[in-house]
Amino acid sequence: MKKIAVLAGDGIGPEIMAQALKVLTAMKLPFEYEEALVGGAAYAAFGHPLPKEVVELAKRSDAVLFGAVGDFKYDTLPRHLRPEQAILGLRKALGLFVNLRPAVCFPELTAASSLKPELVSGLDILLVRELTGDVYFGQPRGKRISPDGAEEGFDTMRYAVPEVERIAHVAFKAAMGRNKHLVSVDKANVLETSQVWRDTMIRVSKEYPEVTLEHMYVDNAAMQLVKAPKKIDVMVTGNLFGDILSDEAAMLTGSIGMLASAALNEIGQGLFEPSHGSAPDIAGMNIANPLAQILSAAMMLRYSLGMEEEAVRIENAVKTVLAQGYRTGDIWSEGCKKVSCSEMGDAVVAAL
């Protein structure tokens, strides 16, 4: 019996999570599910976005299925109490240093992209983002008074060589399983952290002679992603650049509501979440797109539970409902059947 921690979170989290659970339950998998509050929901109930019990639950689970956290009403809280700390805290506590963010353009949805169809049709990028280092976690950080008396904020961008090495190996291995072309993104023309990143990537590349390693400055990478995205296959980068570029890559597909992501640690435990956020503006309206959450469940089966066949079964069901013309509002176009969040979940169950 595998144990799954179910952390739906805030905003649309609970309603899309309900659809993913509907799909998993319909498949009668040998799982025990344990739900808990995180993010704003946990703050409201217990005064903390990531209660200790939830960290313990995540640690003793085989995988974490995560919804989304965040709501405008918590934006004025001190940083350590904001909903976002739930996801940052879980990444750190579980050592989830690998973030796989695929950006795949589903053929039926090509028209939803803001780029011309010929630029994105067939797009399939795997973004590998380092998730537990960089300026997100670097110390020292804070606010202080500068020598000339001005209040200032400061953060520390840093990467140690072993941290870069381990994400490099993940990226090179991913490239070996795909087109054997790896783009490493940095800002080595300006930042020392990036020079360490680049030197390490070059060193690790010697162990993967079949993979072509290309370096790109982050500003150029942002441009190439909208200019010729199909030239990119696997892209690896640090935490901050990866945060920014993964949203850009996701939007190329026209449907951020379709994209799942995986965060993994050294022992294969993982946290699986949609690439989109909590969308508090449409929460509770039963109109959100649950497919990214459902596809996150598929990623969980593949990467943490070794259930490739079952993962493919979910992915095929999602392809089927798209082919059948079912669309939630975010991906709807003329001639398609507009469905609610729960109807979409039902359609996927029917297509299994």
- Stretch near ligand IPM under the rule CB under 6 A, chosen from 84-92, 203-211, 285-293, 306-314: 84-92
Interface with Mg ion (CB under 5 A), residue from 84, 124, 243, 346: 243
Q: Going along 269-318, which residue ranges are E strands?
A: 270-274
Of 84 and 315, nearer to ligand IPM (C-beta) is 84
155: partner contacted, choices Mg ion, ligand IPM, none (Cβ within 5-8 A by kind): none
Instruction: Tell me if 249 is assigned to a ligand binding site.
Output: no
Instruction: Tell me if 201 is assigned to a ligand binding site.
Output: no
Q: How many CB atoms lie within 10 A of CB 337?
A: 12
Size of interface with Mg ion, in residues (CB under 5 A): 1
Tell me whether the omega of the peptide bond preceding residue 140 falls within 30 degrees of 0, making it cis.
Answer: yes
The least distance separating Mg ion from the CB of residue 230, rounded to whole angstroms, comes to 23
7 binds ligand IPM (CB under 6 A): no
Instruction: Tell me if 243 is assigned to a ligand binding site.
Output: yes
What phi, psi does 182 have (nearest 5°)?
-120, 125
256 binds ligand IPM (CB under 6 A): no
Instruction: Tell me if 40 is assigned to a ligand binding site.
Output: no
155 binds ligand IPM (CB under 6 A): no
Interface with ligand IPM (CB under 6 A), residue from 62, 84, 233, 343: 84
The least distance separating Mg ion from the CB of residue 242, rounded to whole angstroms, comes to 9
Tell me the residue type at 229.
P
Distance between first and last Cα of the chain: 22
| Distances in whole angstroms, Cα of residue 276 to Cα of each of 58, 252, 257, 259 | 21, 13, 6, 8
Q: How many CB atoms lie within 10 A of CB 178?
A: 15
Separation between Cα atoms, residue 161 and residue 280, nearest integer Å: 39
20 binds ligand IPM (CB under 6 A): no
Can you give the C-alpha Rg of the chain in angstroms?
20
Of 200 and 261, nearer to Mg ion (C-beta) is 261
Catalytic residue at 247? yes
* Segment 14-18 long-range contacts (CB within 8 Å, at least 24 positions apart): 14/67, 15/283, 15/284, 15/286, 15/288, 15/290, 15/341, 15/342, 16/67, 16/68, 16/274, 16/288, 16/289, 16/290, 16/292, 16/293, 16/341, 17/65, 17/67, 17/293, 18/290, 18/342, 18/345
Q: What are the structure tokens assigned to 248, written together?
A: 């850009």
Q: Annotated catalytic residue: which of 155, 233, 243, 346?
A: 243
Residue that the structure tokens 């010697």 belong to = 206
Size of interface with ligand IPM, in residues (CB under 6 A): 4
Of 40 and 345, nearer to ligand IPM (C-beta) is 40
On whether the CB atoms of residues 265 and 316 are closer than 8 A, the answer is no
Catalytic residue at 243? yes
| Half-sphere exposure (Cβ direction) of 233: Cα atoms closer than 13 Å | 16
Instruction: Tell me if 129 is assigned to a ligand binding site.
Output: yes
248 binds ligand IPM (CB under 6 A): no
Interface with ligand IPM (CB under 6 A), residue from 21, 87, 183, 279: 87
Instruction: Tell me if 235 is assigned to a ligand binding site.
Output: no
Q: Annotated catalytic residue: which of 43, 186, 187, 330?
A: 187
Instruction: Tell me if 289 is assigned to a ligand binding site.
Output: yes
Of 87 and 183, nearer to ligand IPM (C-beta) is 87
Separation between Cα atoms, residue 145 and residue 163, nearest integer Å: 32
Of 259 and 351, nearer to ligand IPM (C-beta) is 259
Catalytic residue at 219? yes
Q: Annotated catalytic residue: which of 22, 247, 319, 346?
A: 247
Instruction: Tell me if 220 is assigned to a ligand binding site.
Output: no
243 binds ligand IPM (CB under 6 A): yes
Under the rule (CB under 6 A), what is the footprint of ligand IPM?
84, 87-88, 243
Instruction: Mark the binding-site residues for substrate, compressed into ranges.
Output: 91, 101, 129, 219
Instruction: Mark the binding-site residues for Mg(2+), compressed into ranges.
Output: 219, 243, 247
Write out the catalytic residue numbers: 136, 187, 219, 243, 247
